[in-house]
Amino acid sequence: MTAEHVDVLIVGAGISGIAAGYYLQTHCPTKTFAILEGRDAMGGTWDLFRYPGVRSDSDMFTLGYSFRPWPNAKAIADGPSILHYVRETASIYGIDRKIRFHHQVREVNWSSAEARWTVEVTCGPDEEVCQLTCSFLFMCTGYYDYDHGHQPQWPGVELFKGLMIHPQQWPEQLDYAGKRVVVIGSGATAVTLVPALAKQAEHVTMLQRSPTYIVARPSEDQLANWMRTHLPGKVAYGVTRWRSILFMIYFYTLARRRPDFTKQAIIRMARDELPPNYDVETHFSPRYNPWDQRLCLVPDADLFTAIKDGTASIVTDEIEAFTENGIRLRSGEELTADIIVTATGLTMRLMSGVRLVVDGRTVELGETLSYRGMMYSGVPNLASSFGYTNASWTLKCELIARYVCRLLRYMDQHGYVECMAERPALTGKETSAIDLSSGYVQRARATLPRQGTEKPWRTYQNYLRDIVNLRLDPINDGTMTFTKGKSRVPQEVEESRAS
């Protein structure tokens, strides 16, 4: 049986997969493509996470698509609204008709002789094995394991008589009203859960080993909403989007250049939101500099409000062991709980753990060098969509999707069937392509691709730099090699700069 062939195969139907489909059909209308989704619904993160209060941790003017304005008043939006927006976008542009659900990619094999990928997929509820082939593979699978979050091994967990859950597997009908809840963690999920649970629970305690930088921001952008009523929709959205992008770049640059000043400013803002004499130094003063890890955003200061109201509290300590009734801390204190929520982070799993084989050789991503933050050295005709760590995911994903379209058009214009970034002999220091000290990144460090110190081998966390890097720089940059049939094409810089 001959495997079905498409020009481009997109894996993943979340925010980045829908963006990839939009740009392919808009900028490469002659290309055939399909989107494979392992689950039974589109939406990725926003369909998977169902815990109370789930929301964006950045504004929707940048998390939303540039080609379709975010239609709602709230700039910091709840998960169901974001999911509706993604699905509605896919429907409006007909991208939903390209999605094949219950198609889980297990292994991909590149053949240089045939200049194509053979993709092994388990299909349907019976997990029947089938194959597709494609000329270009576009991985839009996110960066974490959808099946399992990170769950540390604590002493005595089996003794706890209450309910213990991870937010990634939140029970649909969980009743926490009037219950004592302990949320373990201090990241984005924890600071989202605590004020949401505090609305019904008897009391919610956020147990953190160390503090995180937490910044309060209004859930609605009043200026953006004013412009929406006084200016044409796309104009208002464009101005608001760029205002948000430039502010984000300014704030990040300030934080990296003047970390002490930024740290004290963030702590001072927290102190202003909290009751007098609250121990801000213990609970809101991190040991690291701003943006060594992602900052946490709380809309309308909801976490601080819950603390002031007495429905939530923060305990900064380490776990010694679990008990029948809760958690015993190193300090000797015991936290009593009916429900313990382990908001202890994600498990990173690039490309959903798909086995990657090139001409019979298994490729380990941790041994590759990241090219322009989207391709891997020694891996032909494959791009991976990965967003920013210091800004909205969608900003980078759209730039990558547009670059892939430029690359495909360039190859067609010159009759190339293969493109591949050749790993150079770097003289500078190689570092992880994801430069964060967060636990989930450090746990996966050995499996992550590396980066160099200069482009195109450096992964930038700056939208303006990436506009040049991905939309204006030449495709044939003296690093990427191209093949016509079986003959390798010499490095010629002959790229049109048209985006």
Q: Options 3.10.20.600, 2.102.10.10, 3.10.20.30, 3.50.50.60; which CATH number does 4-146+347-489 get?
A: 3.50.50.60
> In the sheet that 487-489 helps form, which strands lie side by side, from edge to edge?
418-421, 480-484, 487-489
Report pLDDT for 489. 47
Q: How far apart are CA 225 and CA 59, in angstroms?
A: 13
CA distances from 239 to 19, 112, 375, 395 (A): 21, 46, 31, 15
Judge contact between 326 and 334, C-beta under 8 A. yes
Q: Is the dihedral of CA 165, 168, 174, 180 positive or negative?
A: positive
Q: How far apart are CA 443 and CA 208, in angstroms?
A: 18
485: left (phi over 0), alpha (psi -120 to 50) or beta: left
DSSP H or E stretch at residue 81: helix 79-92
300: left (phi over 0), alpha (psi -120 to 50) or beta: left
Report pLDDT for 442. 83
- Bridge-partner residues for 350, per DSSP? none
What phi and psi, each to the nearest 5 degrees, are found at residue 76? -100, 105
* CATH code of domain 157-342: 3.50.50.60
Any idea where the domains of the chain sit in the sequence? 4-146+347-489, 157-342
- Nearest to 360, CA basis, from 116, 138, 115, 112: 112
Q: What is the pLDDT along the chain (499 residues), one digit of tens a residue?
A: 467 999 999 999 999 999 999 999 999 999 999 999 999 999 999 999 999 999 998 999 999 999 999 999 999 999 999 999 999 999 999 999 999 999 999 999 999 999 999 999 999 888 899 999 999 999 999 888 888 888 899 999 999 999 999 999 999 889 999 999 999 999 999 999 999 999 999 999 999 999 999 999 999 999 999 999 999 989 999 999 999 999 999 999 999 999 999 999 999 999 999 999 999 999 999 999 999 888 999 999 999 999 999 999 999 999 999 999 999 999 999 999 999 999 998 888 888 889 999 999 999 999 999 999 999 999 999 999 999 988 999 999 999 999 999 999 999 999 999 999 998 876 568 888 887 777 878 887 888 899 988 889 999 999 999 999 999 999 999 899 999 975 544 444 344 333 4
Q: How far apart are CA 116 and CA 234, in angstroms?
A: 40
Q: How far apart are CA 491 and CA 104, in angstroms?
A: 37
- Nearest to 189, CA basis, from 216, 167, 164, 214: 167
Tokens representing 300? 């309308």
Domain 157-342 in the same topology as domain 4-146+347-489: yes
Q: How far apart are CA 59 and CA 77, in angstroms?
A: 8
Q: How far apart are CA 369 and CA 375, in angstroms?
A: 8
DSSP H or E stretch at residue 375: strand 375-376
Q: Which residues contact 429 (CB under 8 A, 6 or more apart)?
A: 453
Residue 157 carries which DSSP code? Answer: G
